[in-house]
């Protein structure tokens, strides 16, 4: 059975989805290696992920940030620049919190085949989010 590993980030005030995603992209994160962008705009609670060409990344981000989706979860899969690990960034309806679900080639703790190296992810993400008003972090690595 696969483990569930995620990091929840909370902010002092709502943050535009496009600001959060562009912060990650400027840091070198990228969509999937297959030349596609995987994203979701959860209209009905079914999390029906869509795929678009990587060349449409700006349009996808703009669409996700539209005010008509403010009361919906939106998300995108991004990979880190220096390695294969990645996952899904999900922005919650309040736009003061989002989750990072580690699900693409998770990086495990040395000598452990079971627990994710959450510190590796935090080292790369917290410096990006701190200037945006980061106020709380919660992590989980569970069966």
What is the residue-level pLDDT of the chain in tens, covering all 143 positions? 467 999 999 999 999 999 999 999 999 999 977 789 999 999 988 999 999 999 999 999 999 999 999 999 999 999 998 778 999 999 999 999 999 999 888 999 988 778 999 999 999 999 999 999 999 999 999 98
pLDDT at 45: 87
pLDDT at 7: 98
> Rounded CA gap, 23 and 4, in Å?
25
Identify the bridge partners of residue 108 per DSSP, sorted by sequence position. 116
Residue 74 exposure: Cα atoms within 13 Å on the Cβ side: 24
pLDDT at 84: 83
Contacts for 10 with CB less than 8 Å, ≥ 6 apart = 96, 97, 134, 135, 136, 137, 138
pLDDT at 13: 97
pTM score: 0.92
Identify the bridge partners of residue 23 per DSSP, sorted by sequence position. none
pLDDT at 62: 96
Q: How many domains does the chain have?
A: 1
Question: Do strands 4-11 and 86-91 pair parallel, antiparallel, or not at all (unpaired)?
Answer: unpaired
Full residue range of the structural domain in which residue 91 is found: 4-142
């Amino acid at each position: 059975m696969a483990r569930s590993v995620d990091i929840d980030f909370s902010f002092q005030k709502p943050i535009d989805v496009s600001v959060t995603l562009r912060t990650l992209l400027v840091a070198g994160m990228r969509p999937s290696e297959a030349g596609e962008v995987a994203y979701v705009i959860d209209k009905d609670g079914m999390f029906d992920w869509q795929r678009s060409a990587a060349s449409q990344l700006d349009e996808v981000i703009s669409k996700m940030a539209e005010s008509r989706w403010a009361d919906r979860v939106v998300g995108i899969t991004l990979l880190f620049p220096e390695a294969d690990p990645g996952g899904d960034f999900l922005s919650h309806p309040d736009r003061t919190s989002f989750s990072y679900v580690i699900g693409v080639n998770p990086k495990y703790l040395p000598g452990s085949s079971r627990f994710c190296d959450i510190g590796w992810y935090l080292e790369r993400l917290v410096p990006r989010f701190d200037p945006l008003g980061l106020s709380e972090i919660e992590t989980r690595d569970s069966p």
